[in-house]
Amino acid sequence: MTLSTDAQKVTRWDKKYPALGTGPVPVTPCIDPAFFELERTRVFGRTWLYFGRAETMPNAGDFRVKKFAVSNAEVLVSRGNDGVLRAFHNVCPHRGNQLVPGERGCAKLFSCGFHGWGFDTDGSLRFVPAQQQFFDFDKRDHGLKPVAIDEWEGFVFISFAKPPLQNARDYLGEMGAGLTGYPFHTMTQNFKYSLTYNANWKIALDAFQEFYHVSLVHSRSLGKTVRSKENPYSNSLDIKVHPLHRTFSGYANPGFAPTPVEMAAFKSGISMAERFAKGGSGAGSRADHLPPGVNPTRSANWSFDVNVVFPNLAIDVLDGMYFTHEFWPLAVDRVYHEVNMWFPPVRNASELFSRQHSAVELRDSILEDGANLERVHAGLKSGAITDFILQDEEVAIRHGHKVIDAFVYSDDPLSTATGLAREAR
Amino acid sequence: MSTDTTLPPGFEDLQRFADLALPTERERNARRLAGPYEQLKDLYDHVLPRLDAIFDYLNPMGMDLPDNAARLSNLALMLAEVAPAVEFYQQPDVIDGFDPGRFEIFQ
């Protein structure tokens, strides 16, 4: 068996997706404050936005608060006594005070710290001090202001659109269908990290939606798991453009030689480096228990898939663990990057060691990625270049920018995006 | 707060690393970044060969570890923390990496 046949093949994504073109991609949307103002409403105001995992709020009264700076909003998601998750603006309807000051917890009642209005976990107003002094007042008229919420495979999304274009399942579409059945809900052990870069949010996202950088940026660390002599630039096994989203499937180096601690981690439990690199253990061995959207080519040399959910979430899926990247714009030149790794619950010290080792390796590789982002933003701001020159393997970036354009400039972005994603026959 | 740093019986050879057996990832990372590299390398060289023995001792206890066993587990986790420093970078921090002081670890 020739291990890397599938990766050696020069797949021409431009032939598969002719509507995306091959031309340069303008940099203006990454540095123009006016474009960013349009993105606030035309992109982030119209799409589903990732809130968090449902398992982190399992019980009645569990709540989380998340800031959406790009929408100047804070959203409170709370699980009611009926078990239903609901989303609200974290704003007291009385005078506009921030209702819940913390980030998470469990509550029977949300009580405003300004005048003591109290709200049930389903958002209804329960208690108003000196209620008889208000005018024509009916508590039923003054519940928390709802925000649209929907759930797909335990991923909780909210939307500021009134109403959202589609439900979350339809929004995730074909990509979501291909991932359905992956055991996300069993992976409850979490490692969480965050960084804030002085860079546009798309510069950060784009650094995580191509493998072209891997051979250089990660040459000392994880790069060796996903490139080989046969595939020196870590070309993707497959790239699939969905109308709004995109999946690219990563190559694994069958000749990967682990370091001593990586080898110890392999023996001890789920190890990211091992999962990245162990594809050579036999054709099909990694495929059968995974849904069709994971390792879609059923390659024995598969490492992991990057599933970019429009606009700013990446769900990176391995066999046995996954991680998410969120890129939240704070300003045209500032982005908050949150990373969450998810594993099955740990049962003993050696499993904890292997998971922690995976987390450290991912953390260090993100520091390697992060170093370039502020330099790129500074470079773009200088005006020295007007366009990105993208190669075929950077098609996810090309697609991402075109879908953003569709949302910013089109009143029917779904149709525009569907046209962009049409495959050549 | 206890100042006891004793490791379980049988691991006296690793006792000199016990003050690096910090309980959270954030503390372990800060300790790694503080260096010096030679100390991280020393820990790597001496804890790695003992890893099988460490897990043979700890794993039967599951996740509910007494204090001295938890310390031993944290020492293994410190090996995980310093591994890239030794195996990839030969220095405490990532080469040409983003400022680790601006990287937040939540656990």
Give the tokens for residue A322: 């996954």
Q: Which residues does chain A have within 8 Å of residue B88's beta carbon, measured at their own beta carbons? A: 220-221, 259, 364
pLDDT for B25 beyond 60: yes
Over A369-408, what HEC string results? HHCCHHHHHHHHHCCCCCEECCCHHHHHHHHHHHHHHHHH
Q: Taking the mean position of all CA atoms in its chain, how far away is CA A255? A: 30
Q: From the CA of B3, how many Å to the nearest CA of chain A?
A: 23
Question: How many inter-chain contacts (A to B, CB under 8 Å) are there?
Answer: 116
Partnered with residue A247 across adjacent β-strands are A240, A307
What's the CA gap between A419 and A403, in Å, rounded? 10
Please state, as a whole number, how many other Cβ atoms lie within 10 Å of the Cβ of residue B25: 21
Q: Percentage of residues in chain B with pLDDT exceeding 90?
A: 95
Partnered with residue A342 across adjacent β-strands are A190, A322
Inter-axis angle of helices A260-268 and B67-84, nearest 10: 130
pLDDT, tens digit, for every residue of A363-412?
999 999 999 999 999 999 999 999 999 999 999 999 999 999 999 999 99
pLDDT of residue B53: 97
ipTM for the predicted complex: 0.97
* Angle at A272 (CA atoms; ends A268, A275), nearest 5 degrees: 90
> Do residue B84 and residue A347 have CB atoms under 8 angstroms apart?
no
Closest residue in chain A to residue B51, using alpha carbons only = A264
Give the length of chain B.
Answer: 107
Q: Taking the mean position of all CA atoms in its chain, how far away is CA A298? A: 23
Q: Which helix (H) or strand (E) holds A338?
A: strand A334-343
What's the CA gap between A345 and A309, in Å, rounded? 26
Q: Which residues does chain A have within 8 Å of residue B72's beta carbon, measured at their own beta carbons? A: 349
Question: Would strands A189-197 and A62-68 be described as parallel, antiparallel, or unpaired?
Answer: unpaired
Q: From the CA of B1, how many Å to the nearest CA of chain A?
A: 24
pLDDT for B93 beyond 70: yes
Mutate to test the interface with A, among B68, B71, B88 (most CBs of A within 10 A): B88
Q: What does DSSP assign to residue A206?
A: H
**Mean predicted confidence (pLDDT) in B29-39:** 97
pLDDT of residue A227: 86
Q: Which of A180, A190, A248 is nearest to A393 (CA)?
A: A248
Chain B residues within 8 Å of chain A (Cβ atoms): 25, 29, 44, 48, 51, 54-55, 58-59, 61-63, 65, 69, 72-73, 76-77, 79-81, 83-84, 87-89, 93-98, 100, 102-107
Residues of chain A with pLDDT under 70: 1-11, 278-288
> Do residue A352 and residue B77 have CB atoms under 8 angstroms apart?
yes
Partnered with residue A383 across adjacent β-strands are none
Q: Which of A323, A358, A346 is nearest to B80 (CA)?
A: A358
- What are all long-range contacts of A8-14, with beta carbons under 8 Å and residues at least 24 apart? A8/A230, A8/A231, A10/A235, A11/A235, A11/A236, A11/A238, A11/A239, A12/A392, A13/A239, A13/A392, A13/A393, A13/A395, A14/A392, A14/A395
pLDDT of residue A278: 66
Q: Which of B1, B36, B5, B30 is nearest to B19 (CA)?
A: B5
Q: Are A207 and A372 in contact (CB under 8 A)?
A: yes
Q: Which of A209, A221, A404 is nearest to A325 (CA)?
A: A209
> Do residue A195 and residue B51 have CB atoms under 8 angstroms apart?
no
Q: Are A265 and A357 in contact (CB under 8 A)?
A: yes
pTM assigned to the model? 0.94
Residue in A193, A264, A347 closest to B62 by CB: A347
Q: Are A302 and A252 in contact (CB under 8 A)?
A: yes
CA atoms within a 13 Å half-sphere pointing along the CA-CB vector of A226: 30
Residue in B25, B62, B98 closest to A367 by CB: B98
Q: Burial, A36: exposed, middle or buried (Cβ in 10 Å; 0-12, 13-18, 19+)?
A: buried
Largest CA distance in chain B: 41
Helix boundaries (H) for A155-293: 168-179, 201-206, 214-217, 260-268, 272-277
* Angle at A11 (CA atoms; ends A6, A17), nearest 5 degrees: 135
pLDDT of residue A4: 45
Q: Are A329 and A69 in contact (CB under 8 A)?
A: yes
Residue found by looking up tokens 């390398």 in the block: B41
Please state, as a whole number, how many other Cβ atoms lie within 10 Å of the Cβ of residue B95: 15
Q: What does DSSP assign to residue A57?
A: S
Chain A residues within 8 Å of chain B (Cβ atoms): 190-197, 220-221, 259-262, 264-265, 268, 346-350, 352-353, 356-357, 359-361, 363-364, 366-371, 373
AA letter at A362: L
Q: Percentage of residues in chain B with pLDDT exceeding 70?
A: 97
**Mean predicted confidence (pLDDT) in B64-92:** 97
- What are all long-range contacts of A133-138, with beta carbons under 8 Å and residues at least 24 apart? none
Closest residue in chain A to residue B87, using alpha carbons only = A259
Residue A48 has phi, psi (to 5 degrees) of -80, 140
